[in-house]
């Protein structure tokens, strides 16, 4: 059973989002073109149809039921899917032998078209496969340095023939010298796919530090603050916290998880951490207001400060700032975009309604 309600954004707003390929509406609605019989994601890069030829649906299943076929370009049925099988096989091969240098000939021998792989990595990781490999190896070197490995050995193990080349590549990737990195905390990141678009998760040994939609305008500032103010060295990789949040997010979007258990680490001011703690106390399927949170903190006049701290939350969904609405019931701002906020609230409300006993 699909637990989402069929409530759609206003028609004019969906037309605008479709024409602008607005990523904030990813997963919120689907566009179905009457003249072609094809349905797409709102961000499809194909030529935009005339608005009068389009009808909108809340779910891909609704499009299929109405007789539409999935677009071969934007693949709306794969919007919430993980990496395709051929990418998964390659990633497993990299994990099995992280020191292997993958040439185009080796990729072709595995049945992988290098240009196709380059495009996929650019779209999903913001860098080419080979750039990702280099950064990954440097991230492993960072971990070794943190464990006491000498810089010389870290450089050699990373495949660099000269120490100066290793130092230059390391500083270019992490904006810190290998020597200083020995006293910094590694912050590993992974890209996650969700029904509302791609997210990035970052975690250190103590817990999850960041979970944001990739198109969030403040993401760059947040990462820079983690690097410059809190001394993190950011590198691609995996750890138990990243694996846990990926599993828990999948259950959350399926309506099967109402409380996250992944360990968290939230760098910030004392007041901000108090606000974030209060956000986590808002029950699943319920909402609160800035004023209510300020009152619970014993600072009834601090609604504005609560709003600022709410906006600085780096852990979307897990620290549920989407559950804070205006005193008049309006959705108010949300870093991931109000359409996503409305989607999350509908998702939670629908899941709660399904668990309520039937009245006779």
Show which residues are catalytic: 321
| CA angle in degrees (0–180, nearest 5) for 270-274-278 | 170
Torsion (CA) 277, 255, 212, 58 in degrees, nearest 10: -130
Tell me if residue 24 falls in helix, strand or coil. helix
Q: Which residue has the tokens 């993980």?
A: 82
Euclidean distance between CA atoms 306 and 294, whole angstroms = 6
CA angle 215, 222, 236 (to 5 degrees): 75
DSSP state of 278: H
Select from 297, 318, 177, 301 the least CA-distant residue to 249: 318
DSSP at 264: B
Contact predicate 199/211, CB 8 Å: yes
Contact between 279 and 324 under an 8 Å Cβ cutoff? The reply is: yes
Name the one residue in this structure whose structure tokens are 């694996």: 243
* Run of H or E residues at 56: strand 54-57
CA distances in angstroms from 336 to 24, 117, 242, 333, 350, listed in the order given: 7, 28, 20, 9, 21
**Helix H or strand E encompassing 39:** strand 38-40
- DSSP sequence for 181-221: HTTSEEEEEEEE--TT--EEEEEETTEEEEEEETT-TTHHH
Round to whole Å and give the CA distance between 60 and 56.
Answer: 10
Instruction: Name which of 270, 260, 289 is nearest 348 in CA terms.
Output: 260
């Amino acid at each position: 059973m699909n637990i989402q309600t069929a409530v759609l954004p206003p028609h004019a707003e969906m037309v605008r989002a479709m024409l602008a390929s607005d990523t904030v509406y990813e997963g919120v609605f689907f566009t179905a073109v009457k003249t072609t019989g094809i349905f797409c994601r709102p961000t499809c890069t194909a030529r935009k149809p005339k608005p009068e030829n389009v009808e909108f649906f809340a779910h891909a299943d609704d499009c299929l039921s109405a007789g539409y076929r999935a677009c071969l370009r934007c693949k709306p049925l794969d919007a919430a899917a993980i990496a395709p099988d051929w990418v998964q096989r390659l990633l497993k091969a990299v994990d099995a032998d992280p020191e292997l240098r993958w040439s185009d000939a080796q990729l072709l021998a595995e049945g992988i078209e290098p240009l196709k792989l380059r495009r996929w990595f650019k779209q999903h990781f913001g860098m080419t496969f080979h750039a990702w490999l280099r950064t990954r190896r440097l991230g492993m070197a960072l971990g070794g340095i943190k464990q006491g490995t000498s810089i010389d050995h870290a450089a050699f193990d990373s495949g660099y023939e000269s120490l100066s080349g290793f130092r230059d590549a390391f500083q270019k990737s992490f904006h810190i010298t290998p020597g200083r990195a020995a006293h910094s905390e590694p912050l590993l990141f992974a890209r996650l796919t969700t029904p509302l678009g791609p997210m990035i998760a970052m975690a250190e040994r103590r817990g999850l530090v960041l979970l944001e939609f990739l198109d969030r305008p403040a993401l760059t500032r947040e990462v820079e603050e983690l690097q410059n103010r809190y001394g993190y060295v950011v590198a691609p990789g995996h750890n138990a916290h990243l694996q846990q949040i990926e599993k828990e997010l999948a259950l959350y979007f399926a309506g099967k998880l109402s409380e996250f258990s992944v360990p968290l680490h939230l760098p910030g001011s004392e007041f901000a951490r108090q606000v974030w703690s209060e956000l986590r106390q808002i029950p699943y399927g319920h909402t609160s207001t800035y004023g209510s949170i300020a009152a619970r903190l014993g600072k009834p006049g601090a609604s504005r400060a609560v709003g600022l701290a709410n906006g600085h939350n780096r852990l979307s969904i897990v620290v549920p700032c989407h559950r804070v609405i205006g005193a008049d019931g309006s959705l108010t701002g949300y870093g991931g975009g109000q359409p996503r906020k409305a989607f999350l609230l509908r998702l939670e409300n629908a899941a709660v309604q399904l668990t309520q006993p039937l009245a006779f």
